[in-house]
């Protein structure tokens, strides 16, 4: 399944978002070919999230209030998708 995270990319392009405008921005690869991309602007504290669910493969987009640790529920299967901490990812790859 080929899926391009275009909603956030288009939002960045259309609104001319610069890195200095962002409170948080990440794109992570999850287990089982899952992916998640999150963009939070300083001005609105709203997390814009695109994901490919690691459980069912569904592509979804949602917007919700930003708070850490960040997670979303898959719109199709209802399972929770968490943004892994970078340190945890590093340990998993190393070990």
CB atoms within 10 A of CB 22: 14
CB atoms within 10 A of CB 53: 24
User: In whole angstroms, what is the distance from residue 87 CA to residue 95 CA?
Assistant: 12
Q: Is the pLDDT of residue 20 over 60?
A: yes
CB atoms within 10 A of CB 76: 13
CB 45 within 8 A of CB 31: no
What is the arithmetic mean of pLDDT over 56-84?
95
Residue 2 dihedral angles phi and psi, to the nearest 5°? -100, 125
CB 71 within 8 A of CB 51: no
Q: Is the pLDDT of residue 89 over 90?
A: no
Please provide the average confidence, as pLDDT, over all residues in the chain. Answer: 89
Domain-wise residue ranges, the chain: 6-94
What does the pLDDT look like over 32-67, one tens digit per residue? 999 999 999 999 999 999 999 999 999 999 999 999
User: In whole angstroms, what is the distance from residue 89 CA to residue 47 CA?
Assistant: 21
């Amino acid at each position: 399944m080929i899926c391009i995270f275009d909603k956030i990319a288009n939002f960045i392009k259309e609104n001319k978002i610069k890195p200095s405008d962002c409170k948080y921005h990440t794109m992570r690869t999850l287990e089982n070919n899952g992916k998640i991309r999150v963009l939070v602007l300083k001005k609105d504290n709203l997390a814009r999230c695109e994901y490919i669910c690691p459980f069912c493969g569904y592509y979804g987009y949602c917007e919700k209030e930003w708070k850490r640790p960040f997670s979303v529920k898959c719109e199709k299967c209802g399972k929770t998708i968490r943004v892994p901490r970078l340190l945890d990812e590093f340990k998993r790859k190393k070990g």
